Structure 1
Amino acid sequence: MQHTVMQHTVQQPPVTFSIAGSDPSGGAGTQADLKTFSALGVYGAAALAGLTVQNTQGVRQAIAVNPQLVRDQIDAVLDDLPIAATKLGMLSNAAVANAVADVIEERREEFGLVVLDPVMVATSGDRLLEEDAVAVIRTRLMRLADIVTPNLPETAVLLGDDVPTAHNADDLEQQARALVSAGARSALVKGGHLNDDVLTDVLASAEGVARFASPRIRTRNTHGTGCTLSSAIAASAALHGDTRATGVSPAAVANARDYLHRAIEAGADWRLSRHPETGHGPVDHLFDLHSVNLHGANQQQRAFNAKMRQQSSASSAESASYRYW
């Protein structure tokens, strides 16, 4: 009697990599990156380049991680995991930024697409990047990345203080094109600081220009939006099948912006802080999951959670441990 062996193909998510600083309050930095990766369905890895002491009210302290330790973390990830896309965030100082640039130059193909978010100042206005790192970002990392995603103040620093102040979408396009001329493969200049009712971002590359517009959501809960968008671009590019050969597609940017818009919308009325009338609260990175848990939209998921809780109680004598969020 013959038996047929059924082969089961396991579908695996793309792997994305964050090299950034931590935010213990969970709204920005590495914590926001990993939430975003999970929400969009990719597997997230992370190396810490900086540590902060911050919350929704502001940054109390920022400390750089030893450059060699940053390098060792990156090597450990690259030696093990096939990376589809990498997001670079807060890099603390010139020593750390140079260490990251060195390893990217040495192992460029292993990083996949590189999204550079030139984090300089937190939403609260507190500085996160030492002055000596700006030149490294401008002269090395911007040229190694596939896309750079600055806001208007960051764009002014990258282009020099003589850059004209942006007032509209045409000015955003001019600055995005200027970044490409300065060495960026592509540049997404974000127009959030224009404070218009319509939020406009402009993507420029050698292939052309794309403009993106969405209604502005008036809320104080915008902590970590830059981190979230850049990590969403990395995840979306990986899912979209973008490669170093193709670069980051406008479709990936559009998908990332849509995710951020929905995350801001879902958390717009949150009052998580003890002092919600000041500071800047986080967005709801996991809005789909929270919708299920809070509104009972998925009965199967709730039944599964109940079953797992029963199994956890039954197996407690065997020291089995389960945690539920």
Structure 2
Amino acid sequence: MSFGAADPAGATGVQADLAAFSALSCTGLAVTTALLISDSARVEDLQDIDPDWVADQARVILEDMTMAAFKVGAITNLEQVAAVAEILSDYPDAPLILDPFSSRLPALPDDDAEELMTAIRQLLVPQATLLMLSQVELGRMAETWRESGDGSEGEDMLQSDVEHLLALGCEFVLVTGTASSSGALANTLYGADGVISHDAWQHLAGPFIGAGNTLSAALTAFMARGADVPEAVAAAQEYTVGALAHAQRYGMGKFVPNRFFHLQSAQDMQ
């Protein structure tokens, strides 16, 4: 089950999640948290869904079906955070992949953004099996708890911020967009014992929309199928790189990952 925004362009949000789930042999279910007015280039506007409607969407499905995993994507207000957190607390044994930040969505005022990040940190992070966020997003979230005058910087600060999140109860943190020894960007997976994996990938030109969404959806699918977190991270990254390598530009905006690339390649070989 995926919680997230409905993107008419299908590049991000629950539409993108459902496509990735299907491509990876999972049946996906979606709970909509917001409606976007968007195309492949930008989001023009956003309409929040009432928190009670968000909760009711999920409850009705959950009374009917069993969930193998949950993904939480974009949540747009404090009341939604509380509603989703309450629902997920009833399913502690199902993996929860938390990917709550999206650069595609309109920015909130600074005070509102800080309150939303604080609520996510307090209510959802402790329930997460895996929290996925960029290094920039990690830094912004850390501003909600760092004390002024903290002397940490660079890699030490990154490590300290991750340790804070793990101490809240989150089992793993995947930080995207970290630096590698070659100067390329990499994804770093952290657990209770420190760095578990640090994977650099060849830069693809793009520009892309929905890359992070594809990665977190793939993580959810692989964990729903029984993979542990390190296995899921490795498989999801490989899948995402393939989807980006076969991305298509459907309109005048950015390239959208081709989430069915491996199925189409297999058909072409027949």
TM more than 0.5: yes
2:257 aligned with 1:271:
no
Per the alignment, residue 87 of structure 2 pairs with 103
Alpha-carbon contact 1:118-1:154 (below 8 Å) kept = no
Which residue, 194, 200, 223 being the options, matches 2:209?
A: 223
Distance of aligned partners of 1:71 and 1:193 in 2 relative to their CA distance in 1, 3 Å threshold: farther
Q: Distance in 2 between matches of 1:115 and 1:202?
A: 16
Shift of 1:135: 1.6
Which residue, 183, 191, 194 being the options, matches 1:205?
A: 191
Query: Which shows bigger deviation, 34-43 or 214-223?
Result: 214-223
How many positions carry a matched residue from both structures? 261
Shift of 1:214: 3.4
Q: Distance in 1 between matches of 2:71 and 2:103?
A: 17
Superimposed CA distance per residue, residues 207-251 of structure 1 (whole angstroms, 9 cap, x where no aligned partner): 442123233332224211111111111111122x25xxxxx4211
Structure 2 alignment gaps of length 5 or more:
none
Alpha-carbon contact 1:120-1:154 (below 8 Å) kept = no
Q: Distance in 2 between matches of 1:214 and 1:200?
A: 4
Per the alignment, residue 262 of structure 1 pairs with 242
Per the alignment, residue 130 of structure 2 pairs with 147
Shift of 1:74: 0.6
Q: Report 1:285-300 matches (<5 A).
A: 285-292=259-266, 296-298=268-270
Q: Distance in 2 between matches of 1:179 and 1:30?
A: 26
2:43 aligned with 1:59:
yes
2:97 aligned with 1:115:
yes
Query: Which shows bigger deviation, 155-164 or 50-59?
Result: 155-164
Letter in 2 for 1:179: L
Give the superposed CA RMSD: 2.5
Distance of aligned partners of 1:198 and 1:213 in 2 relative to their CA distance in 1, 3 Å threshold: farther
Three-state SS of the structure 2 residue aligned to 1:108 is: coil
Moved over 6 A (4+): none
Q: Distance in 1 between matches of 2:47 and 2:33?
A: 9
TM-score normalised to structure 1 length: 0.73
Distance of aligned partners of 1:55 and 1:128 in 2 relative to their CA distance in 1, 3 Å threshold: farther
Q: Distance in 1 between matches of 2:179 and 2:194?
A: 24
Q: Distance in 2 between matches of 1:249 and 1:120?
A: 22
Alpha-carbon contact 1:173-1:203 (below 8 Å) kept = no
Shift of 1:57: 1.5
Superimposed CA distance per residue, residues 120-140 of structure 1 (whole angstroms, 9 cap, x where no aligned partner): 422xx7427952322210111
Q: Distance in 1 between matches of 2:28 and 2:108?
A: 23
Q: Distance in 2 between matches of 1:254 and 1:34?
A: 20
TM-score normalised to structure 2 length: 0.86
- For the pair shown, the structure with the greater C-alpha radius of gyration is 1
Determine what percentage of the aligned residue pairs are the same residue. Answer: 28
Alpha-carbon contact 1:200-1:212 (below 8 Å) kept = yes
Three-state SS of the structure 1 residue aligned to 2:269 is: coil
Letter in 1 for 2:65: L
Shift of 1:292: 5.0
Q: Report 1:44-193 matches (<5 A).
A: 44-105=28-89, 107-109=90-92, 112-122=94-104, 126-127=106-107, 131=113, 132-160=115-143, 166=154, 173-191=159-177
Q: Distance in 2 between matches of 1:260 and 1:165?
A: 31
